[in-house]
Structure 1
Amino acid sequence: MITIAVTNQKGGVAKTTSSVNLAAELGAMGKKVLVVDADPQGNCSSGLGQDREGSPESLYDILIDGKEAQSIVRETPWEGVSLIPANINLAGAEVELSSAISRESRLKNALDGVKDRFDVAIIDCPPSLGLLTINALVGANRTIVPIQCEYYALEGVGQLVRTIELVKQYLNPDLKLDGIVMTMFDSRTRLANDVVAEVRESFGDKVFDAVIPRNVALSEAPSYGKPIRYYQENCKGAQAYRDLAEEVNRKWVKKDL
């Protein structure tokens, strides 16, 4: 199983949108996908049609109470996609993990128990570099960093790169920072094009060819609890995530399976 952490400590860069829609597109391609919602806000869970209030068990029970991941996995309405949901209890996990044994590797240990069931796991990280994100990075072997095509786009990315290097050095030698996706792209503005050029110059072939545009349908789909391919599959946003999934499948999934 290839495990992808979708991470950036900056909020509002389309981490959750990318997690939901990449999962749905890979699932539609015939892959068995597990989405792990590691953000206490639970937006990834609701974006996949899961009622957060109706989830008595969540990632919290895995990290804090030692429940097996298998017992928490829920099926979604979307082809090939399963979910470990988040709920409000997860907000206390950072504090409770701070003094716990093996606090950084609890998610990895849990995912090891279901790795034979899935081709891909996608972890939607919170907008911070706390213990929930560290657990995701320890459990992952690939990372996707969404960067919005706006001013200060690279703000904070340097700190994230250093964190990933530290995790790789001390906790997870298999971790790679090898996927950056540009989001919220508006082709009408010079700024957006300049930002894409700057990021490609800084990170080279780590940047995906697929660029995610600003798109009304992408903003609307979460309110219906649907990935974009099941809400408006012919819009530009859906095509962009289809392109991203095809790149991920070609570069990573086919090679690692």
Structure 2
Amino acid sequence: MSRVICVANQKGGVGKTTTSINLAASLAVMEHKTLLIDCDPQANASSGLGVRGETLEQDLYTVFYKPDYKTVSSAIVQVKSPFLNLLPSSVSLVGVEVELVNEIGREFFLKALIDSVASDYEFIIIDCPPSLGLLTLNALCAASELLVPLQCEYFALEGIAKLMNTYTKVRKLNPNLAILGILLTMFDIRNRLSKDVMDEINRCMPRYLLKTYIPRNVRLSEAPSHGKSIIHYEIKSKGATAYLNLAQEVLTRKPTP
């Protein structure tokens, strides 16, 4: 049975897409068949793996309302690794937020799509938009696990409180959803604020805080502009080591409701 992991935080700039790309790539390099779904109309996860949605005939939007194996599979592309596939996005996906408003069962369209291809994969990673709109709601209703990237900054804890409130509400629609963990990103060991954020999460939500944290790393910032994950851009970097450690922790960690 596939593990469907939703990577979400309604705050932008927290390392959500970076985490989606590099967790997927790390699992793939460990030879776990992985599908990354770019559920953000900005399509940064797609371009970060060298795939431009505007050059493709099919993407997530074109198959969003056609949840059958053949149709969905035709929009999936292989990237960099025989174990890593991508269901790319494009700006057209922004239309879903409007189109779903009056649809019955509007929260479960992405789940139907994922269910049609889930048997092909061990892991399905969903990169969400930086909002709590219908696309993110669809991702939360389709997922079995929620991974929350959290930037080590002053306002980070406010955002996490809002997301946890949404998580509680979504569990009424998807009781199988559990929290994989909170992942600290852009962590600077020299910075007092990074340590303060870690201490605060440990105090308030100790069971959710992952052991792995993602450091600030120049190579990690450079990789997307080359259309590569950090694993394929600079395997010896601190960023690559951190995401490989994250993948290892994900493999052994049990999600917590």
Q: Please state which band the TM-score falls in when normalised by the shorter chain.
A: over 0.9
SS in 2 for 1:110: helix
Could you list the runs of 5+ residues in structure 2 that have no partner in the other structure?
none
Residue by residue, what CA displacement relative to the aligned partner does 1:195-232 show, whole Å, maximum 9, x if unpaired? 11111222112111011000000000000000001111
* Residues 1:144 and 2:147 aligned together: yes
CA distance in 2, matches of 1:237, 1:74: 25
5 Å-filtered alignment, 1:55-204, equals: 55-64=56-65, 68-169=71-172, 171-204=173-206
Q: Aligned partners of 2:55 and 2:158: how far apart in 1?
A: 37
The answer as to whether partners of 1:23 and 1:35 remain within 8 angstroms in 2 is: yes
Match of 1:37 in 2: 38
Work out whether 1:212 is the aligned partner of 2:251.
no
Structure 1 segments (4+ residues) deviating >3 Å: 64-68
Residue type of the alignment partner of 1:84: L
One-letter amino acid of the structure 2 residue matched with residue 122 of structure 1: I
Distance 2:77 2:174 in 1: 27
> 2:49 aligns to what?
48
Work out whether residues 20 and 44 of structure 1, in 8 Å CA contact, stay in contact via their aligned partners in 2: yes
In structure 1, list runs of 5 or more residues that go unmatched: none
Name the amino acid aligned to 1:161. M
TM-fit CA distance, 1:150: 1.2
Q: Which amino acid in the other structure matches residue 241 of structure 1?
A: Y
Deviation at 1:66, TM superposition (A): 5.1
TM-score (norm 2): 0.94
- Deviation digits for residues 173-194 of structure 1 (CA, Å, limit 9, x no counterpart): 1001231100000111111111
Q: Distance in 2 between matches of 1:44 and 1:122?
A: 11
TM (norm. structure 1) is 0.94
- State the Cα distance separating 1:102 from its structure 2 match: 2.1
Alignment partners' CA distance in 1, 2:152 and 2:57: 37
Root mean square deviation, CA, Å? 1.4
Report the equivalent of 2:230.
228
Contact 2:66/2:113 (<8 A) preserved: no
Q: CA deviation at 1:143?
A: 0.5
In the alignment, the residues of structure 1 paired with residue 105 and residue 11 of structure 2 have an alpha-carbon distance, to the nearest angstrom, of: 27
Larger mean CA deviation between 120-129 and 62-71 belongs to: 62-71
User: Identity of paired residues, percent?
Assistant: 47
Whether 1:238 and 2:240 are equivalent positions in the alignment is: yes
Contact preservation (8 Å) 1:161, 1:177: no
Q: Residue 125 and residue 14 in structure 1: after superposition, are their counterparts in 2 closer, same or farther (change >3 A)?
A: same
| Deviation readout 1:21-79 (Å, 9 max, x if unpaired) | 00000001110000000000000001111122212321112324556422221111224
2-structure distance, mates of 1:52, 1:222: 15
Q: Which amino acid aligns with 2:52?
A: D
Aligned length: 252
- Residues 214 and 243, structure 2, Cα contact 8 Å, conserved in 1: yes
